[in-house]
């Protein structure tokens, strides 16, 4: 039997990409899911599809991590439905643009920090209260290789992911002695909606990011997330950096 069976898993940004793949992977393990995203219609479709494919209890809840009241309502609905929170997957996040520091938009910078940093912190605070009361839980943050290095045109995004990495490290220190694990899963190039969002819907630019190489898939990262969550209680996967074979540091090997 899976160690995760009947665990209550909350996932932000679950309507697409890694969040959706993680929801499917946890459902396959017999978990009970609370899925959050801003695109509620799409989220309901995801929840219905997962429920049809797996004997899993799935609840879809509107969630905007940049709004504290939305985070409160999300966690409250999870507790009302299932009475506990075992795993939080802080997946909601984005990159916007590739402008230099000189040319970047203040709105783009603010959007990335409000989602990737402030949103992560807010939702984490909301789940820590029930986790601490139960002295049990696991917070899994979606980082990036951008949290370990820097590249031109990525100043704000890299800064937000460096922040995520430090937040995860601080949480481990602050929760030492408690039965609450903290993991950071840090992917390299993953082909999802990420680049489409970054380039504001320009499909050609998004496609070029992965041209000539084999990127990771959302399912690859979901497998890593579930691996971290399914270790024995005394094992904490602290940081897991995952790159495609065609990527090393900031370099990408591309075939003609």
Q: Which of 214, 155, 222 is nearest to 189 (CA)?
A: 214
Whole-angstrom Cα distance, residue 85 to residue 248? 36
Distance CA 256, CA 134 (A): 55
Distances (CA, A) of 16 to 37, 42, 169: 9, 8, 27
65 phi and psi, to 5 degrees?
-65, -15
Note whether 36 and 22 are within 8 A (CB). no
Is position 42 annotated as part of the catalytic site?
no
Residue 206: which residues within 8 A CB-CB, separation 6 or more? 195, 196, 198, 199
State the residue for tokens 């939080």: 88
Q: Which of 157, 178, 205, 207 is catalytic?
A: 157
Active-site annotation holder among 7, 59, 126, 161: 161
Q: Give the phi and the psi of residue 60 in degrees, each rounded to 5.
A: -100, 125
Reply yes or no on whether 151 is catalytic: no
DSSP-based three-state secondary structure for 34: strand
Rounded to whole angstroms, the Cα distance separating 145 from 238 reads: 15
Tell me which residues are annotated as active site. 157, 161
């Amino acid at each position: 039997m899976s160690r995760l069976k009947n665990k209550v898993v909350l996932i932000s940004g679950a309507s697409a990409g890694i969040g959706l793949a993680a929801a499917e992977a946890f459902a396959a393990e017999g978990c009970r899911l609370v899925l959050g995203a801003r695109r509620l219609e799409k989220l309901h479709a995801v929840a219905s599809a997962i429920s049809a494919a797996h004997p899993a209890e799935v609840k879809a809840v509107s969630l905007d991590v940049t709004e504290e009241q939305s985070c409160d309502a999300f966690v409250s609905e999870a507790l009302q439905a299932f009475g506990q929170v075992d795993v939080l997957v802080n997946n909601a996040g984005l990159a916007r643009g590739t402008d230099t520091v000189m040319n970047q938009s203040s709105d783009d910078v603010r959007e990335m920090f409000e989602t990737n940093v402030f949103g992560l912190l807010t939702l984490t605070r909301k789940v820590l209260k029930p986790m601490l009361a139960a002295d049990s839980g696991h917070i899994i943050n979606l980082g990036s290789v951008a949290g370990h290095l820097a590249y031109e045109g990525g100043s704000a995004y890299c800064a937000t992911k460096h922040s995520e990495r430090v937040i995860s490290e601080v949480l481990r220190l602050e929760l030492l002695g408690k039965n609450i694990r903290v993991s950071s899963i840090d992917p390299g190039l993953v082909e999802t909606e990420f680049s489409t969002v970054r380039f504001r819907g320009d499909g050609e630019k998004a496609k070029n990011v992965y041209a000539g190489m084999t990127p990771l898939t959302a399912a690859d990262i979901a497998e890593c997330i579930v691996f971290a969550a399914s270790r024995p209680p005394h094992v904490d996967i602290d940081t897991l950096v995952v790159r495609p074979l065609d990527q090393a540091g900031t370099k990408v090997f591309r075939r003609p």
